[in-house]
Amino acid sequence: MVRLDKFLAEESSFSRSDVKKMIRAGRICVNGSSDVKPDRKIDPETDCVTADGMVIRQTGRRCLMMNKCAGVLSATQDARDRTVIDLVDVPYADKLFPIGRLDKDTEGLLLLTNDGMLSHNLLSPAKHVSKTYFVIITGGPDEQLQARFREGLDIGDKKPALPALLMFLSVDGDFLEEHVRRGGISGEETPLPSGMVTPDQMKEFCMKSIALADYARCGENECCAAVSVTEGRFHQIKRMFAACGREVRFLKRIAMGTLMLDPELDPGCWRELTSEEWTILEG
Ligand code: URA
């Protein structure tokens, strides 16, 4: 059981003081009666609450998968720029926030939720959830770069970045097999951090989540790669490549843990997570 004014403030876009005024004005009904007080206890499962005749339902936990487009901010509001929340037109949009940040020019998988615990579980360093990106960088494939990513790069922070998995892709979407082997796991290399995806999983993400249009962005003297990290430092991917003298020309997140971006989502589009995807996130 929950107080009527609290329920309404949480489940609608009205503030608690708006809600009080609306109750006084007879605009709120519980089971058809407007004779209610703000502290009236309701059962959100069984009582029917309306505001100006519109049924207010308990939304519970929500999570949207978005293919973030370039040019919008991963924030809830901004005075100047459009945010990812501005792209969403669900009634509970004002309760959502992005799980982590992608740079304004970065595209790809972004989850929007009202669930603080889900966000914590995906972002906390202690939970070791990998984030996998498709990237187009200046220069060509290079095994030394893979080795440096694998060792853990100094990117100017107090501590070097944790070992990361880097694999090069051909522009038609195939893995460069030689590089898969080297980026992989010969046993003598620095062990990958806990939570890191395997090269086979990375391969699957790349095959299923990268659009041909993404590969088509690769220009002359540039190459395509996939990179997976288990941290979320500021501009981490761009800084890792910059530390190796490379520039990131295009960056798109394709997976968080083993949750893959739905390739059917065009840039800027979103949908609710399926129950299978909830299971992937929560194990
Ligand atoms: N690393 C970056 O450099 N930018 C992002 O948006 C995400 C990871």
74 in contact with ligand 1, CB cutoff 6 A: no
83: nearest Cα among 59, 101, 65, 62: 101
Encoded tokens for 259: 């949750």
233 in contact with ligand 1, CB cutoff 6 A: no
Question: Tokens 């998988």 identify what position?
Answer: 109
229 CA: nearest ligand 1 atom: 8
- Identify whether residues 25 and 43 lie together within a single domain: yes
3-state DSSP of 43-108 = CCCCCCEEECCEECCCCCCCEEEEEECCCCECCCCCCCCCEHHHHCCCCCHHHCEECCCCCCCCEE
Encoded tokens for 278: 């909830």
Does the pLDDT of residue 187 top 50, yes or no?
A: no
When divided into structural domains, the chain yields a total of 3
165: nearest Cα among 148, 140, 177, 186: 148
- Identify whether residues 137 and 244 lie together within a single domain: yes
- Identify whether residues 136 and 237 lie together within a single domain: yes
Average model confidence (pLDDT) for the chain?
90
Residue tagged active-site, from 18, 47, 86, 103:
103
Mean pLDDT score, 133-137: 97
Mean pLDDT score, 106-119: 95
The CATH number assigned to the domain holding 108 equals: 3.30.70.580
β-bridge mates for residue 135, sequence order = 225, 251
The CATH number assigned to the domain holding 26 equals: 3.10.290.10
- Identify whether residues 33 and 67 lie together within a single domain: no
Whole-number Å distance between alpha carbons of 50 and 30: 7
The range of the structural domain enclosing residue 11 comes to: 2-56
- Identify whether residues 228 and 139 lie together within a single domain: yes
The CATH number assigned to the domain holding 162 equals: 3.30.70.1560
Distance 240 CA to ligand 1 centre (A): 10
- Identify whether residues 228 and 175 lie together within a single domain: yes
- Identify whether residues 50 and 73 lie together within a single domain: no
pTM above the 0.75 mark?
A: yes
| Chain centroid offset of residue 70 CA | 14
Does the pLDDT of residue 195 top 70, yes or no?
A: yes
Whole-number Å distance between alpha carbons of 278 and 276: 5
Q: What is the pLDDT of residues 41-62, one digit of tens each?
A: 999 889 999 999 988 888 778 8
- Identify whether residues 198 and 245 lie together within a single domain: yes
Buried b vs exposed e over 183-219: b needs ≥16 C-beta within 10 Å? bbeeeeeeebbebbbebebbbebbeebbbeebbeebe
Mean pLDDT score, 186-206: 79
- Identify whether residues 92 and 199 lie together within a single domain: no
165: nearest Cα among 178, 174, 152: 152
Task: Judge contact between 258 and 114, C-beta under 8 A.
Answer: no
Whole-number Å distance between alpha carbons of 30 and 260: 42
- Is 103 among the catalytic positions? yes
Using only C-alpha atoms, the chain has a radius of gyration, in whole angstroms, of 23
- Identify whether residues 48 and 161 lie together within a single domain: no
6 in contact with ligand 1, CB cutoff 6 A: no
Distance 156 CA to ligand 1 centre (A): 16
Distance 238 CA to ligand 1 centre (A): 6
Q: Sorting pLDDT into bands at 50, 70 and 90, what band is 203?
A: confident
Mean pLDDT score, 242-258: 97
Mean pLDDT score, 239-258: 98
251 in contact with ligand 1, CB cutoff 6 A: yes
